[in-house]
Every structure is written in structure tokens, then in C-alpha cells.
Amino acid sequence: MDIWVVGTGYVGLVTGLCFAKLGHQVWCIDQDKNKIEALSRGVAPIFEPGIGELIAQVQSQGKVHFSTSFPASVPVDAALIAVGTPPGRDGEADLSQVFNAVDNLALHLPAGTLLATKSTVPVGTAARIRRRLLELGRSDLEVASVPEFLREGSAIEDTLTPHRLVFGVQSASAQNTLERMHSGMNSPVLVCDPATAEMIKYASNAFLATKISFVNEIANICERVGADVSQVSVGMGLDPRIGPSFLRAGLGYGGSCFPKDTRALVNIAGTVNYDFTLLRAVVEVNQRQRMSPLYRLLRWFESLEGVVVTILGVAFKPGTDDTRESPALDLAAHLISHGARVRLVDPVVKTAHVAGQNKPLPVSQDVYEALLDADAAVLVTEWDAFRNLDWTHVKNLMRGPFWFDGRNVLDPEVLEQAGLVLSNIGHKTRSQKIPV
Ligand SMILES: NC(=O)c1ccc[n+]([C@@H]2O[C@H](COP(=O)([O-])OP(=O)(O)OC[C@H]3O[C@@H](n4cnc5c(N)ncnc54)[C@H](O)[C@@H]3O)[C@@H](O)[C@H]2O)c1
Ligand SMILES: O=c1ccn([C@@H]2O[C@H](COP(=O)(O)OP(=O)(O)O[C@H]3O[C@H](CO)[C@@H](O)[C@H](O)[C@H]3O)[C@@H](O)[C@H]2O)c(=O)[nH]1
């Protein structure tokens, strides 16, 4: 098949490359000249395991093409919209990129082509797209919703072997086009109407975010009653009705999806006069959870004025260089506003945009250098590189012994043996000095 993918961000790029790998002829179109130039030279604009090799493979097979404009006289069976849907002022999804893409596609797609959204869009967007196409005199295009469920860090595998495919369609021919497009993927398929498909995407992200905020609330109670949240998670997860995933307590969720999509779903509910009380609480709990190291540091130091704090991990999770809605950036901004001197270290992120700073902050790649003369350290992102440090060396480098493990991946006993003091989330603190 011939497929156009509009928007070559995370989702558009990975989707386009994977369809090319499945044997389709793919055009990846993006308005960002630098991105397209880099991709044409085989350079990936994102850090994602396997992406460089995949670009090289499908480029050498002539299966993928990168362009800033819609190709003329090139056949096309389906166009996928994978542009951004960033949050607007009240958390609502800003659909300007989507409708810009729709308007451009309306000028270029031949009659009968399928136009499907991969972007996460509010319920009712497919209907709005159809109305827009009618206004533009393009009642001859099919509209569908095919939400994307990939995770950053395992995006290629998730796209080639997804847990499920959701086809939100209104006609047999649209379903048939999507089936041909995805043939070669051996995944369960749910066929439904576009509005239902759009809701499945938001409901899935909101439910996973709810699990995380729930376990973080349990963790906070564990600290106060002397229970161990890691074991509570294992114990809960052994019940197949609950399942073990997304029960890792920590500094809460970040990234380009959960924070944005939970707020957007609260907003969607509001537009139909429904107060999504539960999801509002999930969002609030997540925001509060990010600040737990700040409160713990304030109890340890009393004042953070001039205190040097090293933050380990700037990406919102390991395996990506994406810093969108990373808890580390929020924490850094709050520590700085309390007078702390913040140092950042991450294996792949090079600079960080921290609110209130007029230029990006540098991010070190050398963890020992970043810990030299630090008064305290906070692990925010559980990169492997931070798990097995030479703790005696760390103790000797640092001015103070205080560590906060925001992802519960460090062994308190090992750190204590080296003379450090470790506080973490959801465990009874071992040091008498750290009040909960
Ligand atoms: N990042 C993820 O892990 C992920 C996973 C599933 C779903 N999603 C959803 O997919 C969508 C895209 O996410 P992303 O992270 O890839 O976004 P992104 O912001 O990284 O990329 C969007 C791209 O679209 C391009 N673009 C914008 N308007 C355009 C236009 N009119 N024509 C051509 N190109 C245009 C931008 O230049 C940019 O490169 C969002 O709705 C997001 O919620 C993201
Ligand atoms: O037990 C857990 C699991 C995750 N997280 C945090 O949750 C966030 C999101 O993690 P993850 O879901 O792995 O990353 P994303 O790449 O943002 O993927 C989510 O968002 C995508 C965009 O919508 C969806 O496609 C995916 O299915 C969905 O998992 C990260 O900050 C994690 O640190 C926790 O705090 N505890």
C-alpha cells in the first residue's frame, strides 16, 4: 500500500518506519525542515532504541521517503495524521495542528482515500473532521480513528506487535483499508465507531495514570504506618484481576501523554457537564507527589538557601531523551525557587528547560562530576547507570550524605554501609534522622 504520514514526531516517525518495514511505501511529511533534512540523511531526531538501524534498513530498501511537502503524482491509499495535540489553556487538546493537516490533505488526497487520526484527539474529532471536509467539498474521503498506544523507549516493538489494534471506522471499505495496512501484525483487533476509538485511547491512559496515583497514595500511607509499598505492590499484583503493572510507586507520571491526556479527559467531561471527580484527584495527587523530595529536603536542611542538590535523571523515564512534563524539571524549578543550587545529570539529555530560567540549564553526563561537593542527591529517573554506583566513592565526593530515591531502586542498606542516608517512597525510613 501507499501511505502518507503527516507529522514526523515520535508517533509519526515510528509509525511510518514500521509500516515501511512491513513492506508498504511510506511518505513521512513534516513542516519542520531541519527534522526532514536530518531524516533524509538517516539521522534520527529522537533517542529511541533501534531507530537508527530501522531508518537505515527501510531507507536502503527505498520504502520510506521524507518530505516537507505533499508529494505530487504519487499514489496514496491512506493518510495518517500524527501531528501534536498539545494542551490548551484549560487542559483541552489544541487541535490546530490536526485541522491544519486536514486542510492541507483535502487539497491533495485523491477521491476514496482514507484519512485516519493517529494523534490522540478528543471524542468527536472524527465527526468534526468529516464536517470540515464537507465544508471543503471533500465528501469523497473516508475518515477513521486509529489511536496509537506505543510507549517511548519500546516504541518500535509496541508498534510492530501491539497489544491491540483499535479501528474506529464507519464503513466496510475503511475497515478493509486498515486491515490491509496492518496485515502482518498478529494483534487482536477491535472494530468500533470513531468516537469509541477516540475514547478508548483517553480511557486507557487515564486508567494507567489512576493506577499510578493510587499506588502513590498507598505509598504515602505506608510511610506513616510502617508498611513497605514495594511488597504491597507485589502482593496486590499477584491478583490477576489487579495485575502487577503500573503499580510502581515513585515521583508520579510524566511524559508527553499521561499529564496532557488526563487533563484533556477532565476537560472533555466538563464540556458535557460531567465532573470527572476521580480523574481530577489523580491529576492532583500526581502533582503533589512530584514535590515529595522537596518536602523531605526541607525537613533535612530546614533551609535550602545555597544547598547544592544533584538531580539524577532529567528524561521523564529511562530509555528516552524526552523531557516533556518530566518530574525532574518541576522539582528543579521548585528547588531553585527555594534558593537551592541545582545540578542535573542524565545519560542522554544534554540541556533542560526549567521554568523561571531564562536559558536552558546544562545537563552533565558524568554522574560523579555532578555529585562532587553536593549536599544532597535526588534520583528522579531510574536509568541503569544510576543503580550501581561506587557508593564509597560517592560518599567521599559529596559534602553531605543525604539521598532521596524517587523511584525505589536503590538498596538502603548498601548506601548506609557507605555512610550515606537514604530516604525513599513508601517505606518506613531506616534513619532516625529523617522524619516522615
Ligand atoms: N509520544 C508518544 O509516546 C505518543 C504515543 C501515543 C500517542 N501519542 C499522540 O500522538 C500525537 C503526536 O505525538 P508526538 O509525541 O509524536 O508529537 P510531536 O510533537 O513529537 O510531533 C508532532 C510533529 O508534527 C509536526 N507537525 C505539526 N503540524 C504539522 C502539519 N500541519 N503538517 C506537517 N507536520 C506537522 C511537527 O513539526 C512535529 O514534528 C499526539 O496527539 C500524542 O498525544 C503520542
Ligand atoms: O508503575 C509505574 C509505571 C509508570 N510510571 C510513570 O508513568 C509515566 C509514563 O510511563 P509509560 O507509560 O511507560 O510511558 P509513555 O511512553 O508516556 O507511554 C504512555 O503514554 C503513551 C502516549 O499516549 C501511550 O501510547 C502508552 O500506551 C502509555 O503507556 C512515566 O513517567 C513513568 O515513570 C510510574 O510512575 N509507575
Q: Does residue 436 have a pLDDT over 70? A: no
Rounded Cα–Cα distance for residues 296 and 431 (Å): 13
Atom nearest to 151 CA in ligand 1: 3
Q: Which amino acid is at 357?
A: Q
pLDDT of residue 434: 57
- Ligand 2 neighbours (beta carbon < 6 A): 120, 148-152, 205, 208, 212, 246-248, 250, 252-255, 257-258, 316-317
pLDDT of residue 72: 87
List residues forming the annotated binding site for NAD(+).
30, 35, 85, 120, 152, 260, 324
Quote the longest CA-to-CA distance of the chain: 73
pLDDT of residue 239: 98
Is residue 150 lining ligand 1, measured as CB closer than 6 Å? yes
List residues forming the annotated binding site for substrate.
149-152, 201, 246-250, 254, 317
Average pLDDT over residues 49-74: 95
Give the tens place of pLDDT for each residue, 155-186.
Answer: 999 999 999 999 999 999 999 999 999 998 99
Give the tens place of pLDDT for each residue, 142-153.
Answer: 999 999 999 999
Q: Does residue 432 have a pLDDT over 60? A: no
Average pLDDT over residues 196-204: 98
Residue 155 Cα, ligand 1 centroid: separation in angstroms? 14
Q: Record the pTM.
A: 0.96
pLDDT of residue 331: 97
Q: Does residue 252 have a pLDDT over 60? A: yes
Closest C-alpha residue for ligand 2 atom 10: 253
Residue 89 Cα, ligand 2 centroid: separation in angstroms? 23
Average pLDDT over residues 341-346: 98
Pocket test for ligand 2, best of 317, 321, 322, 407 (most atoms within 8 A of CB): 317
In degrees and rounded to multiples of 5, residue 50 shows phi and psi of 85, -5
pLDDT of residue 73: 85
Is residue 259 lining ligand 1, measured as CB closer than 6 Å? no
222 is catalytic: no
Give the number of the ligand closest to the Cα of residue 204: 2
pLDDT of residue 393: 98
Residue 11 Cα, ligand 1 centroid: separation in angstroms? 6
Q: How distant, in Å, are the alpha carbons of 28, 66, 106, 177 from that of 110?
A: 18, 20, 9, 15
